[in-house]
């Protein structure tokens, strides 16, 4: 927690980050790096609302990239249903969790995907969505 702003254990600005490594010989994604911040309790009138910002960087298995480059050269369909050689992708995400009432929240979400599906031949994409959480 970088800054505390309320009495709750999660009220404040929290930094997060991580790294995930998969075996590139049997997984499409080899490495994933992520960093973000979550801010909860910043608005006194809505103490259970939270806003988050996240950046993710994914790399694709070098093995898969080599196979796809050979398939492309030979005019074959690319593995993993790709339309171009896959290398890496980046994702920026912003969301706002709205506490509706006890046990119910609604979370609008915006994502900007750079190199969707880890391919340079696909235009960057803006994605809007939402999540609804209901706890009994």
6-43 tens-digit pLDDT: 787 888 999 999 999 998 888 888 999 999 999 998 88
| DSSP annotation of 131 | E
Kindly report, residue by residue over 62-109, the tens digit of the pLDDT. Answer: 889 899 999 999 999 999 889 999 999 999 999 999 999 999 999 999
Output the pLDDT for position 10.
85
User: pTM here?
Assistant: 0.84
Instruction: Name the 3-class secondary structure at 35.
Output: strand
E strand map for 3-124? 3-4, 12-21, 29-40, 50-60, 88-101, 104-114
């Amino acid at each position: 927690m970088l800054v505390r702003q309320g009495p709750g254990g999660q009220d404040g600005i929290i930094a997060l980050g991580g790294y995930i490594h998969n075996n590139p010989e049997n997984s499409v994604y080899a490495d994933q790096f992520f960093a973000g911040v979550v801010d909860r309790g910043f608005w006194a009138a809505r103490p259970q609302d939270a806003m988050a910002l996240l950046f993710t960087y994914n790399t694709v298995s070098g093995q898969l990239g080599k196979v796809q480059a050979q398939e492309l050269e030979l005019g074959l369909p690319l593995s993993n249903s790709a339309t171009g050689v896959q290398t890496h992708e980046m994702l920026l995400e912003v969301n706002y969790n709205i506490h509706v009432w006890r046990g119910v929240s609604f979370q609008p979400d915006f994502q900007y995907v750079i190199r969707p599906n880890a391919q340079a031949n696909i235009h960057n994409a803006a994605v809007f969505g939402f999540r609804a959480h209901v706890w009994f």
